[in-house]
Amino acid sequence: MSSRQLHRRHFLQMMGAASCNSLLPRWTWAEAAKAVVSDARRMVRFPQKSELILVTDRPPLLETPLHYFRQDLTPNEAYFVR
């Protein structure tokens, strides 16, 4: 066999990699990071609470924003909801 011939196993590996690559979304790393940051900063207001960071809505999971941790005590209306 000459060095220019393509082995069947190598050809199948290349075709598998090409087909998997075509299924991936066409995102750049900057777009992915922007989506994560914008999703992580969604603020909501729960009854008798101040605005908290929404993690999930069913069941409600709300986190305390970081600016409250600069104080010694966290107010009750800013305490997390689980």
- Domain spans of the chain, in order of start: 8-78
Which of 57, 45, 17, 47 lies closest to 65, judged by CA? 45
Which pLDDT value is given to residue 30? 57
Which pLDDT value is given to residue 17? 72
Band (pLDDT 50/70/90 cuts) for residue 11 is confident
pTM to 2 decimal places: 0.49
**Could you give the dihedral angle defined by the CA atoms of residues 25, 28, 34 and 39, in that order, rounded to the nearest 10 degrees?**
20
Band (pLDDT 50/70/90 cuts) for residue 82 is confident
Q: What is the pLDDT of residues 19-78, one digit of tens each?
A: 665 665 665 555 555 555 554 568 889 889 999 999 888 888 999 998 898 889 989 999
Q: Is 65 helix (H, G, I), strand (E, B) or coil?
A: coil
Q: Which residue in this structure is represented by tokens 């990699």?
A: 17
Contacts of 75 (CB under 8 A, 6+ apart): 50, 68
